[in-house]
Structures are given as structure tokens and as C-alpha cells.
Amino acid sequence: MKKIIFVLPVMFFVVISSVFAQKLNCAKFKNGTFKMTYQGKETIIVRNGNQQQQYYDGSKEPTIYAVKWVNSCTLNLIPAQKRVKELKDVPSNAYLTQKIIKTSKNSYTQLTSANFSKRTITTEIYKIK
């Protein structure tokens, strides 16, 4: 009987949470031009199909990534091998995983992790085109 008293409120909470949970609209952020600010530095991101270019802090030379969508709200970014060779602490099989965890009209919040680090970063990305 005690188990039922415990389980029923938990099940009720799960059902109510799923009913009121925000639906993520990730599709509108698959392609486009975006702006992100992290640690006071601006990055312009241009994502089109299976390629993403990132212009860090006003740079004219982009960092190029291959884009592989894992699902509708998660993508892996694989840096071009030329860039990996320039970074001494990054393994040759490096990739970043970006998971969209919240969407709004013109922006989304993503959680970024890397297969070579335990660190995660949460940032808000604004669609500008």
C-alpha cells in the first residue's frame, strides 16, 4: 500500500510534466546565419546543409565543420582535419555535440560537449538570417 501511495503522485507528476512540456521547434534552426556571444566574444555561425562555418571574434577566416545530425535537435560538428592539425591538444577524431535544449521565436539554447573533454557549455544562439 505504501508503494502505491508513493508511485501514484510520481506518475501524476510525470504525466502532467509531459503534457505541459514545451515542444522544441529545432527544424527552423537547421540552416541559417546565427550569432553567439561567449565570454565577451562574438561568433557568427553560417550553417547550410552538411557544412558549418564559424567566424570567431571578427575573423575573416572561418573554422569549417562537417555537420551530422543525430536527431532533429542534436548535431555533431566534425572540424576539418586542417584545423585539427593546428590544435595540439585536440585528437584527430575530435567532434563537438550540440544539443538544442530550448527554442524560442528567434533563438535557441544549446548544450555543447566534446568527445575529448568532460566540460559542457550552455549558450544561447540567435538566428539573424
Structure confidence by residue, pLDDT tens digits, 85-121: 777 788 889 999 999 999 999 999 999 999 999 999 9
Q: Is residue 13 part of a domain?
A: no
Q: Is residue 110 part of a domain?
A: yes
Contact 111, 37 (CB under 8 A): no
Q: Is residue 58 part of a domain?
A: yes
Determine the pLDDT at residue 85. Answer: 72
CATH number at residue 109: 2.40.128
Other Cβ atoms less than 10 A from the Cβ of 55: the count is 15
Q: Is residue 4 part of a domain?
A: no
Q: Is residue 53 part of a domain?
A: yes
Instruction: Tell me which residue range forms the domain holding 44.
Output: 23-127
Q: Is residue 10 part of a domain?
A: no
β-pairing, 117-127 vs 32-38, is: antiparallel
- Number of structural domains found in the chain: 1
What pTM value is reported for the model? 0.77
Q: Is residue 85 part of a domain?
A: yes
